[in-house]
């Protein structure tokens, strides 16, 4: 292929070939004139005789046949091991009895040489998507966090002290179960994430029933409307609340199209699943909380930080940066 510093461009090749073939120049003077070797000059002259001017254009350097190319069946075996067990080139090469360089070349050619491009659960290449404007699709889901006993949980104070705090808190609240075991309960976080901007809306509740889910949806749609975003579709999993008639009627009343993920396929709702992981790392277990009340009080502040200030790697800035003229954008 020709490049900026190439001695012969297609136009120069044609001029040189015409001097040799049409004007009868000797090969040596023509090659010296165009500063190439006589072998190169003879090659282009021969191609001009056979094909004319169209023969002067660049051609692919790919060989017509590759006798030493890795067989297709071997490639399938390499890819199968990579997908199912996520082994590295050296481990795959040891199992299949071939050079690690060959395995790495196959993985690179198949674009699965990096594990970050492979789904953790299925082993299939990750297929990413994103809707083109805010409100085109919102993701909804519920995540659960165990309540923190007064005095702090075992993650920070140790398991033994954490169990003592758990027992004292349960006795004070009268929440021991039938076996007289401490039971503090679970906090249900109903989360809503916009697909395009990743702006999040979160509410904490004591259950995940249909009436609660419907109320969260209605308030989330109103909140997004205040930000200038009109919700068009909502994507949920196959939880009972999202399969209820109440949820269906609420979507119809709000003018929203409801879509559900494929059963046992949480990757379809991957954006909100990843948000739950960020929520756990950035808020739920980020620091020591002396009580559940203290942790819940910290949620609005963290959510504001996430929406307005935390840089999102997928969009190159905070989620709010993808919405225009929002109140509090620069707070």
CATH number attached to the domain at 138-147+185-322 = 3.30.420.10
For the chain, what are the domain ranges?
A: 10-56, 72-117, 138-147+185-322
Residue 133 makes CB contacts below 8 A (sequence gap 6+) with: 196
Which backbone phi and psi does 257 adopt, to 5 degrees? -85, 125
Cα 294 to chain centroid distance, Å, stands at 33
Predicted confidence pLDDT, tens digits, the chain (331 residues): 555 556 788 889 999 999 999 999 999 999 999 999 999 999 999 999 999 999 988 888 888 888 888 899 999 999 888 877 878 889 899 989 999 999 999 999 888 887 766 665 555 555 667 888 899 999 999 999 988 898 888 888 888 888 888 888 888 888 888 888 887 888 999 999 999 999 999 999 999 999 999 999 999 999 999 999 999 999 999 999 999 999 999 999 999 999 998 887 777 788 899 999 999 999 999 899 999 899 999 999 999 999 999 888 888 889 998 886 544 544 4
- Please write the tens of the pLDDT for every residue from 149-167: 988 888 888 888 888 888 8
Reduced 3-state DSSP string for 264-291 = CCHHHHHHHHHHHHHHHHHHHCCCCCCC
Q: Return the exposure string of 93-118: e unless at least 16 CB atoms fall within 10 Å of the residue's CB, then b.
A: beeeebeeebbbebbeeeebbeeeeb
**Rg for the chain, CA atoms, rounded:** 32
The span from the CA of 145 to the CA of 280, in Å, is: 9
Is pTM beyond 0.85 here? no
The span from the CA of 251 to the CA of 232, in Å, is: 10
* Contact criterion met (CB below 8 Å) for 187 and 195: no
- Please write the tens of the pLDDT for every residue from 281-326: 999 998 999 998 999 999 999 999 999 998 888 888 899 988 865 4
The span from the CA of 217 to the CA of 136, in Å, is: 15
The span from the CA of 5 to the CA of 98, in Å, is: 40
The span from the CA of 129 to the CA of 116, in Å, is: 16
């Amino acid at each position: 292929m020709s490049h900026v510093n190439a001695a012969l461009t297609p136009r120069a090749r044609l001029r040189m070939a015409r001097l040799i073939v049409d004007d009868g120049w000797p090969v040596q003077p023509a090659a010296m004139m165009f500063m190439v070797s006589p072998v190169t000059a003879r090659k282009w002259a021969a191609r001009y005789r056979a094909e004319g001017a169209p023969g002067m254009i660049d051609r692919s350097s790919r060989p017509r046949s590759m006798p030493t190319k890795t067989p297709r069946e071997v490639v399938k075996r390499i890819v199968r091991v990579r997908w199912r067990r996520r082994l590295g080139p050296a481990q795959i090469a040891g199992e299949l009895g071939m050079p690690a360089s060959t395995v790495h070349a196959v993985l690179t050619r198949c674009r699965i040489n990096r594990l970050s491009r492979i789904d953790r659960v299925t082993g299939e290449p990750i297929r990413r998507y994103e809707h083109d404007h805010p409100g085109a699709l919102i993701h909804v889901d519920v995540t659960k966090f165990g309540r923190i006993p007064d005095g702090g949980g075992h993650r920070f104070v140790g398991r033994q002290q954490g169990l003592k705090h758990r027992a004292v808190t349960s006795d004070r609240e009268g929440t021991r179960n039938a076996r007289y075991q401490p039971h503090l309960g679970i906090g249900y976080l109903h989360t809503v994430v916009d697909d395009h901007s990743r702006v999040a809306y979160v509410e904490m509740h004591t259950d995940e029933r249909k009436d609660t889910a419907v109320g969260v949806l209605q308030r989330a749609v109103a909140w997004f409307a205040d930000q200038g975003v009109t919700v068009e579709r909502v994507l949920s999993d196959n939880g009972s609340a999202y399969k209820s008639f109440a949820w269906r009627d609420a979507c119809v009343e709000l003018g929203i199209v409801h879509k559900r993920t494929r059963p046992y396929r949480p990757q379809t709702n991957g954006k909100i699943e990843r948000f739950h992981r960020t929520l756990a790392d950035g808020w739920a277990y980020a620091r020591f909380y002396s009580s559940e009340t203290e942790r819940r009080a910290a949620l609005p502040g963290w959510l504001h930080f996430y929406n307005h200030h935390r840089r999102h790697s997928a969009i190159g800035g905070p989620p709010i940066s993808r919405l225009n003229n929002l109140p509090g954008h620069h707070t």
